[in-house]
Amino acid sequence: MTGETCKTSRSSEDKIIEIDCLHKWFGDLHVLNGISLTVFRGERIVICGPSGSGKSTLIRCINRLEEHQKGRIMVDGIELTGNLKNIEKIREEVGMVFQHFNLFPHLTILENLALGPIWVRKVPKKEAEETAMYYLEKVHIAEQAKKHPGQLSGGQQQRVAIARSLCMKPKIMLFDEPTSALDPEMVKEVLDVMINLAEEGMTMIVVSHEMGFAKSVAHRVLFMDFGQIVEENTPQVFFDCPQHDRTKLFLSQILH
Amino acid sequence: MAKSGKNNIIQAEGLKAPVIRIGLLQWAKTNLFNGVLNSILTIVTLFLLYKVVPPFVRWAFIDSLWFSSAEQCRAGSGACWSIIPANIRFIIFGFYPHELHWRPLVAMIMLVGLLFYSKNRDHWSPSLGYIWIAGLLTMGILMRGGLFGLAPVESDKWGGLPLTLMLSFFGMFAAYPLGVLLALGRRSKMPAVKTICILYIELIRGVPLISLLFMSAVLFPLFFPEGLTVNKIIRAQAAIILFTAAYIAEVVRGGLQAITKGQYEAAESLGLNYVQKMRLIVLPQALKIVIPPTVGILISAFKDTSLVVIIALYDVLKTTKSALANPSWMGFSPEAYLFVALIYFVCCFSMSNYSRRLEKELHT
């Protein structure tokens, strides 16, 4: 796991996400203004930027929680269009972790995890529950399997949410500010799980302001502002000598 | 001095909340006589209770007659409960042939038994569904006859409590799923579905049940081709279902609105399709939230079945009224109506009791 990626040497088969000149408007607001981004298999990208810069919207477009109006998104060789079957197929392969966890409160932790595999992947119940327990152990929370989400702390809930996505055996994981709704003492336990995942070679796109995480895990760091990718670099260059004035300003504000 | 005061506080923190015992007198003083106005209200209320309760108890229980003839009743001064045992079979079964009363009786016992068995959520399974289907078929055969050597009984002879139970049971259990579908339709992104659902809900809610019942009795037959008639009970049943469903739909829509966007998105990001998302994630949560208002609607639907009297169906309220038309029992309507009220109350109270239990069980 080296940070150096040489894009030119990679074949087109290594590309798992291709975004080409993406535009999106909320009413009159131009939230994504010509985004182009290619993500390779096993690559880890951290996106940061001020609030309202479109970073969450961008990753939500990748699994079509938001619809784009112009441009093209290819995920694992399938183009995202209005075609419902394609959308469901892509969502099977793309896991998503939300800021507010979004666990299903009426189901136990185990049921939360087994639900996707059972209904979407048509895995037998017993096998799905075994997989669920495997991932719960991985996020160090197996003893809570019979509880309901409301009985868990925020950090535990977010780890369950990560495990829930992993149960679908996704090819890509999207993280939408996974630690910003957590109490400070719980941030580390969630980041540790994400670092483990990174070490296993998962393709990850993370919207986050956890700069320590970005430095140690990301292959590339993207800075977005006003719906555009302003700067894109390896973490070393990005944090040590940012090129763009807006990046410098932003970094000075969040790093104090 | 100051130091000991501080110590006291520290000690007090280690103690449990104080247990305060209040005597009856003390309780009465703090709750009934704390101030001039409350004292006056208490005295007035006590006086009214004294005026009302003892005479009622004497009328209903002490001076009352339970198994006497109408003449004996007229001689006495208390309640004449005898009107009920004397007319019970007509009140309960209406014009159903006298010697066949065991059939609706068995059907009703089956229905109540099945409902009681199904109360326990541990018993819910696919086989319970089959038991219900078999049970309902048996009940239908018992009521109608014409099979297995049972003498046929035309549905215009059906009446009384079996009719009330039937109208309400099917009214509720068909209206509920229909209402849920309408609520989903009203929130649909498909304009045609949405418009139809809104039109349906608003039209139905805009007219009283009585007018729907009239339409079902008078208007619908006009549209049917010559020779085709649909049973009057079924037409009334349909009107009740359509009416109740519109109200259920609005309550369920309220529940759907309470589910956060995050739940939809989490379900979608797992790749669940629309039906799975609604069935597994959204509806279980939404329907749970709206249990209290839903049961409110079901209870009022149960009571509204008594309106079928206006299209000349003999539900349990109408049979009671008819029993009172018998000259020898005329004048004992309070007793008879109290009895019917008791039947309605037992049914409605068990429904609201069950809803409370369900809420508690589903609370996680």
**Residues A119, B266: C-beta atoms closer than 8 Å:** no
Smallest CA–CA separation between B268 and chain A, in Å?
Answer: 7
B67-90 mean pLDDT: 76
Token pair 């009220």: residue: B341
Q: How confident is the model at residue A12 (pLDDT cuts 50, 70, 90)?
A: low
Nearest to A14 by CA among A201, A215, A232, A222: A201
Smallest CA–CA separation between A175 and chain B, in Å?
Answer: 12
Q: What stretch of H or E contains A222?
A: strand A220-225
Separation in Å, CA B339 to CA A86, A92, B62, B152, B317:
63, 61, 18, 31, 10
Q: How confident is the model at residue B179 (pLDDT cuts 50, 70, 90)?
A: very high
**Residues B280, A119: C-beta atoms closer than 8 Å:** yes
Where is pLDDT greater, at B330 or A133? Answer: A133
A148 touches chain B (CB under 8 A): yes
A167-186 mean pLDDT: 91
A95 touches chain B (CB under 8 A): yes
pTM as predicted:
0.81
A142 touches chain B (CB under 8 A): no
What pLDDT, on a 0 to 100 scale, did the predictor assign at position B171? 87
Residue B334 contacts by C-beta under 8 Å, 6 or more apart in sequence? B79
**Residues B271, A150: C-beta atoms closer than 8 Å:** no
Instruction: Say if residues A238 and A247 touch (Cβ distance below 8 Å).
Output: yes
Cα B274 → chain centroid? 33
Token pair 């037992």: residue: B346
Q: pLDDT for A41-90, tens place per residue?
A: 999 999 999 888 999 999 999 989 999 999 999 998 888 888 888 898 99
In the numeric block, which tokens belong to residue B258?
A: 């309470």
What pLDDT, on a 0 to 100 scale, did the predictor assign at position B12? 52
Q: How confident is the model at residue A2 (pLDDT cuts 50, 70, 90)?
A: very low
Cα B214 → chain centroid? 23
- Residue A227 in 3-state DSSP? coil
Rounded-to-integer distance, Cα B325 and Cα B234, Å: 28
Which chain B residues have a beta carbon less than 8 Å from that of A106? 284-285, 288, 362, 364
Which percentage of chain A shows pLDDT scores above 90? 59
Smallest CA–CA separation between B211 and chain A, in Å?
Answer: 41
The shortest CB-CB distance from B265 to any of A89, A94, A98 is to: A98
Q: How confident is the model at residue A13 (pLDDT cuts 50, 70, 90)?
A: low
**Ordered DSSP codes for A122-161:** ---HHHHHHHHHHHHHHTT-GGGTTS-GGGS-HHHHHHHH
Which chain B residues have a beta carbon less than 8 Å from that of A168? 270-271
Give the chain A residue nearest B281 (alpha carbons): A104
For residue B354, the one-letter residue type is Y
pLDDT surpasses 60 at B208: yes
What pLDDT, on a 0 to 100 scale, did the predictor assign at position B79? 75
Smallest CA–CA separation between A88 and chain B, in Å?
Answer: 5
Which chain B residues have a beta carbon less than 8 Å from that of A160? none
B271 touches chain A (CB under 8 A): yes
A119 touches chain B (CB under 8 A): yes
Rounded-to-integer distance, Cα B108 and Cα B165, Å: 8
Rounded-to-integer distance, Cα A37 and Cα A60, Å: 14
The ipTM estimated for the assembled molecules is 0.89
What pLDDT, on a 0 to 100 scale, did the predictor assign at position B17? 76
CB-side neighbour CA atoms (13 Å) of B179: 30
Q: How confident is the model at residue A7 (pLDDT cuts 50, 70, 90)?
A: very low
Rounded-to-integer distance, Cα B258 and Cα B283, Å: 11
Nearest to A99 by CA among A208, A196, A204, A251: A208
Q: How confident is the model at residue B276 (pLDDT cuts 50, 70, 90)?
A: very high
**Residues A84, B273: C-beta atoms closer than 8 Å:** yes
pLDDT surpasses 50 at A239: yes
Residue B221: how many CB atoms within 10 A of its CB? 13
Instruction: Say if residues B91 and B316 touch (Cβ distance below 8 Å).
Output: yes
Which chain B residues have a beta carbon less than 8 Å from that of A120? 270-272, 276
A150 touches chain B (CB under 8 A): yes
Q: What stretch of H or E contains A254?
A: helix A245-255
SS (H, E, C) A165-218: HHCCCCCEEEEECCCCCCCHHHHHHHHHHHHHHHHCCCEEEEECCCHHHHHHHC
A98 touches chain B (CB under 8 A): yes
Rounded-to-integer distance, Cα B319 and Cα B317, Å: 6
Rounded-to-integer distance, Cα B241 and Cα B172, Å: 7
B34 touches chain A (CB under 8 A): no
pLDDT surpasses 90 at A96: yes
Residue B313 contacts by C-beta under 8 Å, 6 or more apart in sequence? B159, B163, B232, B233, B236
**Residues A119, B288: C-beta atoms closer than 8 Å:** no
Rounded-to-integer distance, Cα B232 and Cα B167, Å: 12
B36-40 mean pLDDT: 89
SS (H, E, C) chain B: CHHHHHHHHHHHHHCCCCCCCCCHHHHHHHHCCCCHHHHHHHHHHHHHHHHHHHHHHHHHHHCCECCCCHHHHHHCCCCECCHHHHHHHHHHHCCCCHHHCHHHHHHHHHHHHHHHHHHCHHHCCHHHHHHHHHHHHHHHHHHHCCCCCCCCCCHHHCCHHHHHHHHHHHHHHHHHHHHHHHHHHHCCCCHHHHHHHHHHHHHHHCCCHHHHHHHHHHHHHHHCCCCCCCCHHHHHHHHHHHHHHHHHHHHHHHHHHCCCHHHHHHHHHCCCCHHHHHHHHHHHHHHHHCHHHHHHHHHHHHHHHHHHHHHCCCEHHHHHHHHHCCHHHCCCHHHHHHHHHHHHHHHHHHHHHHHHHHHHHHCC
What pLDDT, on a 0 to 100 scale, did the predictor assign at position B156? 76
Rounded-to-integer distance, Cα B265 and Cα B270, Å: 9
pLDDT surpasses 60 at B173: yes
What pLDDT, on a 0 to 100 scale, did the predictor assign at position B32? 81
Give the chain A residue nearest B280 (alpha carbons): A115
What pLDDT, on a 0 to 100 scale, did the predictor assign at position B46? 92
Which percentage of chain A shows pLDDT scores above 70? 95
Smallest CA–CA separation between B297 and chain A, in Å?
Answer: 24
The shortest CB-CB distance from A106 to any of B260, B265, B288 is to: B288
What pLDDT, on a 0 to 100 scale, did the predictor assign at position A4? 43
Rounded-to-integer distance, Cα B265 and Cα B273, Å: 11
- Residue A47 in 3-state DSSP? strand
Rounded-to-integer distance, Cα B95 and Cα B157, Å: 5
Length of chain B: 364
A137-161 mean pLDDT: 91
A179-185 mean pLDDT: 89
Q: How confident is the model at residue B57 (pLDDT cuts 50, 70, 90)?
A: confident
Which of B270, B273, B291, B364 would best serve as a mutation to test chain A binding (most A beta carbons within 10 A)? B270
B72-80 mean pLDDT: 75
B280 touches chain A (CB under 8 A): yes
pLDDT surpasses 80 at B331: no
B363 touches chain A (CB under 8 A): no
Where is pLDDT greater, at B246 or B22? Answer: B246
Give exposure, B139-177, as e/b (b: 16+ Cβ within 10 Å). beebbebeeeeeeebeeeebbbbbbbbbbbbbbbebbbe
- Residue A8 in 3-state DSSP? helix
Return mean pLDDT, chain A. 89
The shortest CB-CB distance from B268 to any of A65, A105, A165 is to: A65
Which percentage of chain B shows pLDDT scores above 90? 23
Nearest to B91 by CA among B348, B299, B329: B329
Residue B184 contacts by C-beta under 8 Å, 6 or more apart in sequence? B256, B278
**Helix ranges, A40-107 (H):** 55-62, 84-93
Q: How confident is the model at residue B11 (pLDDT cuts 50, 70, 90)?
A: low
Rounded-to-integer distance, Cα A134 and Cα A142, Å: 8
The shortest CB-CB distance from A120 to any of B266, B272, B281 is to: B272
A154 touches chain B (CB under 8 A): no
Smallest CA–CA separation between B350 and chain A, in Å?
Answer: 26
Q: pLDDT for B121-154, tens place per residue?
A: 787 888 888 888 888 888 888 877 777 777 777 7
Establish, for the pair of chains A and B, how many residue pairs have beta carbons separated by less than 8 Å: 61
Smallest CA–CA separation between B195 and chain A, in Å?
Answer: 23
Q: How confident is the model at residue B2 (pLDDT cuts 50, 70, 90)?
A: very low
What pLDDT, on a 0 to 100 scale, did the predictor assign at position B282? 93
Rounded-to-integer distance, Cα B135 and Cα B129, Å: 10
Q: How confident is the model at residue A38 (pLDDT cuts 50, 70, 90)?
A: very high
Smallest CA–CA separation between B133 and chain A, in Å?
Answer: 28
